[in-house]
């Protein structure tokens, strides 16, 4: 997953639904890790990992109770992205619904096809009222041999406000369209990894 906002919101949605979530930050820019530092002890937990250690970190986290793990990768197909695809059950590729942005994911699409992993492009940061734009973007995605996720995360001010405060849209405006979009995408993601979307709260994840 190449877009910290989406990775963090999906993990937060999992926590809200009663799951123990974890974000593993393999992006050298460490945006997710910085967001977690602003939040201090508030979930979800965010840890970093070097690409060669990713599989071991996931195994350790699962043994400590992690149920929903999101890997935040750099916005290009490098060794970190390759390592993430290798261990992922589902690959989500956040991308703006424009020809220029979509052209940049061709290399990622090739990497995913080589690994044979289920993958979807999630349109992000686009207008919430431009259906034709999303139809054209979907056609372009399909020409790369990928599928478009049926749910989008539109460009909404609450996401920017939340990021500036180290929070999520659900924490700032829980009844907003932005929060609804995140929850719909989270539930859809759970279906694709054969996971129940909600459950009773379990103990917090402890990492060392």
pLDDT at 2: 46
pLDDT digits (tens, 9 = 90+) for 15-66: 999 999 999 999 999 999 999 999 988 999 999 999 999 999 999 999 999 9
197 found inside a domain: no
89 found inside a domain: yes
Of 123, 84, 117, whose CA–CA distance to 101 is shortest? 123
Q: What phi, psi does 119 have (nearest 5°)?
A: -150, 145
CATH number of the domain at 13, please.
3.40.50.300
What is the value of pTM for the model shown? 0.91
Of 62, 79, 70, whose CA–CA distance to 46 is shortest? 70
Domain that residue 17 falls in: 4-192
Task: Decide if pLDDT at 130 tops 60.
Answer: yes
Total of domains in the chain: 1
pLDDT digits (tens, 9 = 90+) for 86-115: 999 999 999 999 989 999 998 888 889 889
């Amino acid at each position: 997953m190449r877009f910290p906002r989406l990775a963090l919101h999906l993990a937060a949605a999992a926590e809200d639904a009663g799951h123990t979530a974890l974000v593993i930050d393999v992006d050298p820019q460490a945006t997710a890790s910085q967001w977690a530092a602003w939040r201090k002890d508030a979930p979800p937990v965010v840890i970093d990992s070097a690409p060669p250690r990713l599989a071991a970190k996931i195994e350790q986290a699962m043994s400590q109770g992690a149920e929903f793990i999101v890997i935040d990768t750099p916005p290009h197909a490098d060794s970190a992205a390759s390592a993430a695809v290798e261990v992922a059950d589902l690959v989500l590729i956040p991308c703006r619904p424009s020809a220029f942005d979509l052209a940049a994911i061709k290399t990622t699409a090739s990497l995913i096809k080589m690994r044979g992993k289920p993958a979807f492009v999630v349109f992000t940061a686009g207008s919430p009222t431009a259906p034709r734009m999303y139809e054209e973007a979907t056609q372009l995605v399909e020409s790369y041999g990928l599928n478009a996720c049926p749910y989008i995360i539109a460009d909404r001010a609450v996401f920017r406000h939340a990021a500036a405060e180290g929070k999520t849209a659900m924490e700032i405006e829980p009844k907003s369209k932005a929060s609804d979009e995140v929850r719909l995408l989270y539930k859809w993601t759970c279906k694709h990894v054969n996971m129940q979307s909600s459950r009773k709260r379990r103990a917090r994840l402890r990492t060392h």
